[in-house]
Structure 1
Amino acid sequence: MHRATLRTWFGNAHYQDRRGWDKGTLRKYTPLVRERVIALKQARIDRQKYFLGSPYVQMDYVKRYPKQERPSLWFIDESVRRAGLQTHAPKKRTQGQNIVQRHRFPIKTIVGLGRIQQACDFIGKKYIVGSREPISVFSTRYYQWFELYPIYRVLAETVEAAVDQLSGFWIDHPIPQVMRVDHATAFRGAIRHVAVIGRFLKFLLNHNVTPLFAAPYRSYTNPHIEGHNRTFTEKLWAKHTFTSRAAIDKECARFNAESEEFFRFKFKQRLRANTLRYRRRRAAVNLHTLTTTRGRRIGFIRFVEIWKERNQEIGIVVLERFIDLPGAYLNQYVFASLDLAAARLHVYSEVEGQATVIRTLRFPYDA
């Protein structure tokens, strides 16, 4: 294109050939759409909603104006920013992302474990004004294929508390293929015994859910678990001064209702899939016996280290049992899969999305 032509175009207030749009005007949406977006954002702020982001404003727009085209998230972001209503700073990349890549974190292997993946955790103890009794909070989260983050106050950090919440939750929310957990005693079971399948693991396995243990002491690799505490603290706990358990329950219910509303809106089509599994309301809960081992597995994300307790041997620990590995895998992540039917452990190393078995061994266990 000739420079003279460009000078002519740039000198005009609008294009002479009727292409494009006048300077300062909107290309696709009208000023009315922008006004509506800003009003909906302001309404969320005024009502002190827990969730203020553009996806929630978009949901409000669709519900308020069902016959109108929904504005894009980019347009909502830009409109909110221009109106001075931006409520959070853009997320920054964290150091953990580079570390995970450098140490061969088995991300593709984990994603391939199942379509619907969920995590659960007990949030650190909290205290209300005027009381020394700790408050225990249980949270769970869909982090793959669905997105939902409910929180519940429970009596204590026990197997029973976790099972009660998940049993009720799965009546009207899909049962996942994978449940990601940390190494809390309630989840892993008896920590002083080797290769024991605890009650919580039996509960998951009896629902054909694969337990996936996160790498211990590596919080940056476990955002779906460690993020629970931060989300609860920032969005709920830090915004209130609680003086009673009833007040906590009330706010948890409001938080969950907002999260549930968006879940039903965003995943309306996926929730219609006839392959989704749910718990029957009156179905018995079995924590004591493993009903079958066929097709049942437990996954472990592990970081290969030198163990002083094992005379400087290199390896990992799975269910309190040490597994030695070749020195070539030192300081990288591996994925271990325990096949319960065969009582065998397979250890994989993933490089550029390709997983290779680096160790297979018998792994007797007590269930």
Structure 2
Amino acid sequence: MEQLPLSKGGEKKYSEIPPPPLRTIGQILKDLGLSKRNRKDRHKGAAKYLCYPEYTVFNLIAKRVLEIDFIGKKFITGRTEPLNFIASSFKKEPRLRHFKRILSETGDEIIKYLKLFFKKFEKPDAVKMDNGFAMAGTPSWPRIISKASLWLLSQKVIPIFTVPRKPFSQASIEGNNSVFSRKFWNGIDFRSTGEIDIKLEWFNKASEEYLNYQKPKQKKSKNINFIPRIYFIRQVKEDKEQTGKAQINLLKEKVFLPKSYINYFVLAEWNLKQEKLYIYFEKEQQSKMIKKLSFKINQKSKEKLKKSKII
């Protein structure tokens, strides 16, 4: 592109003035409300460039995907004990966002919350969640299935785990967490948990009305065609212990892939009936299987699956 001409003496005049630091420029743009959209678009662009399996997750795996996440711990005046909250969101119509105070960030509290959510609103086809220990578990042994996953499978709901330490992979729920902070928490000086619970219920109701959420009619069926499986979204990394090899980590197991996939995202499907792992790569809304291997369930988890009649 042809450079615009400077007025006479302009080059000398402006070259003597050092530009402000990038941080200052960023703050000015933020204050003017010009940076938020750019950051969001940048994340979406990066996700598309690195082939994040967005289309597969929200269109091929399930029709209704509920995203859940913990909100960072909060504190109120006169109370040293932290408060814990959970957020949930449907990004596709009918859209919904919902928040609730919980006792702790544990698998038991997730199950307790989801039981109430499924009854009050709807039971989704899949639940997409963070890779944190309460949701994915921190097993001492490889290929252990977490308590939350076992319960979801017993309800014929598919667990989907997001990329570790990649907030944009939970973009819609992260956005809802921001709404919680800006529109609810930061605007009120709360004095008690009772006050929080009452006003949070009002906030949820207002959000439902704003999004025009209508509970869909769901048929009570046994879903006999349900295939018990768990999905993991992972970013392929170079294996530092074996230079040049590419790998993803799943439940304390390394799965090696061709080097050409390093830095790209892949979707791993663990079919629990077959005890096989399928790795898929999405490009231009097309999902292609790039690897298939045996992936045995840990015996303790297998016994629990059989006891719950999941497999």
Which category describes the TM-score, using the shorter chain as reference length? Answer: 0.7 to 0.9
- Does residue 163 of the first structure (1) align with residue 111 of the second (2)? yes
Paired residue type of 2:257: L
Structure 1 residues not aligned, in runs of 5+: 1-87, 279-291
Match of 1:252 in 2: 200
SS of residue in 1 equivalent to 2:96: coil
* Counterpart Cα distance in 2 of 1:117 and 1:138: 16
Match of 2:43 in 1: 96
* Counterpart Cα distance in 1 of 2:239 and 2:225: 32
- Does residue 125 of the first structure (1) align with residue 57 of the second (2)? no
Paired residue type of 2:259: G
- Against the structure 1 CA distance between its residues 149 and 266, is the aligned structure 2 distance closer, same or farther, given a 3 Å change threshold? closer
TM-aligned CA deviation for residue 260 of structure 1? 3.0
Match of 1:84 in 2: none
* Counterpart Cα distance in 2 of 1:138 and 1:266: 19
Match of 1:150 in 2: 98
Q: Is the 8 A contact 1:350 1:356 kept in 2?
A: yes
TM-aligned CA deviation for residue 219 of structure 1? 1.4
* Counterpart Cα distance in 1 of 2:253 and 2:72: 27
TM-aligned CA deviation for residue 90 of structure 1? 10
Paired residue type of 2:100: Y
SS of residue in 1 equivalent to 2:197: helix
* Counterpart Cα distance in 2 of 1:190 and 1:346: 22
Paired residue type of 1:92: R
SS of residue in 1 equivalent to 2:180: helix
- Against the structure 1 CA distance between its residues 244 and 341, is the aligned structure 2 distance closer, same or farther, given a 3 Å change threshold? same
Structure 2 residues not aligned, in runs of 5+: 1-32, 302-311
Alignment of 1:1-367 (within 5 A): 92-93=37-38, 94=40, 95-111=42-58, 112-262=60-210, 265-267=212-214, 271-272=216-217, 274-275=218-219, 295-309=227-241, 313-366=245-298, 367=301
Identity %: 28
TM-aligned CA deviation for residue 129 of structure 1? 1.0
| TM norm structure 2 | 0.78
TM-aligned CA deviation for residue 203 of structure 1? 0.8
* Counterpart Cα distance in 2 of 1:118 and 1:205: 14
Aligned pair count reads 263
Paired residue type of 2:37: K
* Counterpart Cα distance in 1 of 2:256 and 2:264: 14
* Counterpart Cα distance in 1 of 2:54 and 2:130: 17
* Counterpart Cα distance in 1 of 2:115 and 2:259: 43
